[in-house]
């Protein structure tokens, strides 16, 4: 942030000169399962007391959250305007937020209720969310938004280069069965020269702000089942509501929370793809997991499609597609007697979605049909970690893009990405594992390897002398800025030190040589306690959040 005064949330912690990077590594290892309590947690260790966390001395000695204007170096600029938030006031705001969430459908299935992931309306609980939006520099916000259409175009062009995809993933194929099966389907499509003339992408590019360099760095690019367009939009509305009621008291302006149209934009992309398919008898099919507690995020899009676009929606598992699906003589995909215009995958991105050959037959059947796939098998492969790493290599972007300005913008946001056959980088990762993350070819939370486990895994792979290292990439570990947050889960609030990850949604639709849509389409902010490595909301690591521009 610059020198202009901006609202800032802080806790009653003392100031030291220890670096933010060190605090990110050393803070206590509370997880959400134990940390979300209404009672305040034990005080953080002294190693966590650092400059952004200012103590404001008050006559009353009580637990409080303080919001005060600060300048770029973290100094409070107007102490006279600082406010004391006692437990009672904070509880009032939290209760108000919980009522709003319940009334507006900001909900998920409750894991403690057995049928909550299979029967709609059973066992509902509010989705985890941050009570207040997270500060984010407007310049980096605009940078992330501007990158969206460039990444869309890059995904589309890479998807058309079947040779590049097959060669880049050839070593991974040898050691990763899931990637191998995806590549086999892709190979079959190449063999029959299957053309996807209408191509739809609903993507999300995830970023963090690196504290040391102040750079916006990309974590990953999601091309399949980019979730939380629905619930993420609702959290933005929730935060605007909270600030409209309590903004003057908090010193926060609801107008600095940017609008979030992710749900309507994703629905618009699906609807326009349906229109391009040009069969009014056809429906949109959402491919779902048999058990899905995040179903309401999906139903949000379905409701917009029905209410605004009058398009029928069906939900099918991969196993149901295998049982009920067929390809008609004209290439049309028919499932349970219904013609399918668009297949929207909210499943199929992880090996557990393919427990038998039935699911793989369904994936191949859909790929062979004339239905628009979101994503197609080639778009899916472009989103793998290995392709992300390959695109970061010198000279590779030039293979797909001509605009030098666009190439420079993409490279500016690339974090360090390396193959494990790079001996020098592997050696550095063994010596200083805290500076790296090992990533397998998997989507969803809970898969990455951090800390000493990086060293142990690399040494194990070296000792084994196998080719299994091809199943991983190494990525520069990003140490993001810390902030104070009030996190809500299971009806309880918890104050903690947190880090955030910004996801920018984007929509891309192309029909042959005509680009129908290429837009930045809203955003997703996810916030987690700073001691947590993983960041998935549905996996239980993070909460939904929104952006407060500074």
Confirm or deny that 313 is annotated as ligand binding. no
Could you tell me what percent of the chain has a pLDDT over 90? 65
| Catalytic entry in 373, 385, 455, 510 | 385
> Tell me, what's the pLDDT at 440?
82
Distance CA 343, CA 54 (A): 51
> Tell me, what's the pLDDT at 48?
30
**pLDDT mean over 368-373:** 98
Distance CA 94, CA 486 (A): 9
**pLDDT mean over 110-133:** 95
pLDDT at 26 over 50: no
Confirm or deny that 211 is annotated as ligand binding. no
Rounded to 10 degrees, the C-alpha dihedral 110/113/119/123 comes to -50
Residues 11 and 27 sit within 8 Å (Cβ to Cβ):
no
Q: pLDDT tens-digit profile of 232-252?
A: 999 999 999 999 999 988 889
**pLDDT mean over 510-515:** 97
DSSP-assigned beta bridge partners for residue 158: none
> Tell me, what's the pLDDT at 545?
97
Confirm or deny that 245 is annotated as ligand binding. no
| Catalytic entry in 13, 339, 443, 500 | 443
> Tell me, what's the pLDDT at 84?
44
**pLDDT mean over 441-467:** 79
Numbered ranges of CATH 3.30.1490.50 in the chain:
417-475
Q: What angle do CA 353, 354, 358 make, to 5 degrees?
A: 130
Q: What angle do CA 142, 148, 151 make, to 5 degrees?
A: 140
In CATH, which of 2.40.10.10, 3.30.420.10, 3.30.1490.50, 2.10.10.90 is domain 417-475? 3.30.1490.50
Residue 92: helix, strand or coil by DSSP?
Answer: helix
DSSP assignment, residue 48? G
User: For this structure, is 204 an active site residue?
Assistant: yes
> What pTM value is reported for the model?
0.83
User: For this structure, is 443 an active site residue?
Assistant: yes
Distance CA 449, CA 463 (A): 18
Distance CA 95, CA 487 (A): 13
Task: Give the model's confidence band at 30: pLDDT under 50 very low, under 70 low, under 90 confident, else very high.
Answer: very low
| Catalytic entry in 439, 455, 495, 510 | 439
Confirm or deny that 475 is annotated as ligand binding. yes
pLDDT at 88 over 60: yes
Confirm or deny that 220 is annotated as ligand binding. yes
| Catalytic entry in 168, 222, 369, 370 | 222
User: For this structure, is 439 an active site residue?
Assistant: yes
Confirm or deny that 462 is annotated as ligand binding. no
User: For this structure, is 455 an active site residue?
Assistant: no
User: For this structure, is 51 an active site residue?
Assistant: no
Task: Give the model's confidence band at 446: pLDDT under 50 very low, under 70 low, under 90 confident, else very high.
Answer: low
**pLDDT mean over 445-465:** 82
Q: Share the mean pLDDT of the chain.
A: 84
User: For this structure, is 315 an active site residue?
Assistant: no
| Catalytic entry in 23, 205, 227, 260 | 227
């Amino acid at each position: 942030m610059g020198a202009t005064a901006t609202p800032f949330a802080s806790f009653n912690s003392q100031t030291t000169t220890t670096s933010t990077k060190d605090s990110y590594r050393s803070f206590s290892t509370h997880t959400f399962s134990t940390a979300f309590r209404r009672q305040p947690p034990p005080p953080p260790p002294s190693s966590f007391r650092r400059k952004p966390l200012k103590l404001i001395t008050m006559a009353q000695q009580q637990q409080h959250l303080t919001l005060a204007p600060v300048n770029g170096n973290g100094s409070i600029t107007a102490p006279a305007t600082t406010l004391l938030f006692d437990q009672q006031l904070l509880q009032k705001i939290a209760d108000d937020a919980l009522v709003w969430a319940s009334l507006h459908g900001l909900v998920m299935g409750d894991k403690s209720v057995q049928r909550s992931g299979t029967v709609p309306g059973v066992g509902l609980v509010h989705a985890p969310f941050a009570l207040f939006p997270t500060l984010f520099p407007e310049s980096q916000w605009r940078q992330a938004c501007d990158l969206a259409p460039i990444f869309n175009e890059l995904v589309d062009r890479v998807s058309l280069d079947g040779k590049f995809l097959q060669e880049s993933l050839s070593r991974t194929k040898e050691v990763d069965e899931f990637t191998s099966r995806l590549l086999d389907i892709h190979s079959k499509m190449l063999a029959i020269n299957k053309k996807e003339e209408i191509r739809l992408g609903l993507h999300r590019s995830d970023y963090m702000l690196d504290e040391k360099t102040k750079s916006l760095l990309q974590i990953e690019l999601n091309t399949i089942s980019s979730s939380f367009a629905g619930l993420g939009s609702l959290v933005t509305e929730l935060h605007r509501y909270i600030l409209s009621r309590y903004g003057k008291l908090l010193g926060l302006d609801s107008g600095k929370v940017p609008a979030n149209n992710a749900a309507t934009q994703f629905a618009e992309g699906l609807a326009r793809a349906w229109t391009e398919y040009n069969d009014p008898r056809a429906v949109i099919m959402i491919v779902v997991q048999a058990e899905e507690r995040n179903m309401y995020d999906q139903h949000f899009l379905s409701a917009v499609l029905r209410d605004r676009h009058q398009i029928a929606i069906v939900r099918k598992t991969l196993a149901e597609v295998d049982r009920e699906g067929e390809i008609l003589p004209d290439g049309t995909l028919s499932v349970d007697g219904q013609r399918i215009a668009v297949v929207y995958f909210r499943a199929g991105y992880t090996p557990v979605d393919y427990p038998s050959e039935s699911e793989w037959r369904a994936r191949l059947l859909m790929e062979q049909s004339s239905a628009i796939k979101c994503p197609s098998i080639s778009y899916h492969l472009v989103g793998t970690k290995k392709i992300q790493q390959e695109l970061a290599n010198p000279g590779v972007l030039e293979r797909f893009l001509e605009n030098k300005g666009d190439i420079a913008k993409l490279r500016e946001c690339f974090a360090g990405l390396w193959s494990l056959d790079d001996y020098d980088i592997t050696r550095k990762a063994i010596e200083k594992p805290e500076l790296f993350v090992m990533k397998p070819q998997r989507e969803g939370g809970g898969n990455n390897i951090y800390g000493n486990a990086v060293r142990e895994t690399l040494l194990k792979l070296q000792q084994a002398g196998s080719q299994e290292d091809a199943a991983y990439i190494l990525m520069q570990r990003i140490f993001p800025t810390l902030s104070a947050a009030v996190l809500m889960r299971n009806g309880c609030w918890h104050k903690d030190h947190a880090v955030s990850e910004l996801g920018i949604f984007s929509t891309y639709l192309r029909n042959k040589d005509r680009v129908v849509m290429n837009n930045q389409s809203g955003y997703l902010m996810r916030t987690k306690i700073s001691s947590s490595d993983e960041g998935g909301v549905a996996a239980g690591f993070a909460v939904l959040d929104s952006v407060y521009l500074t």
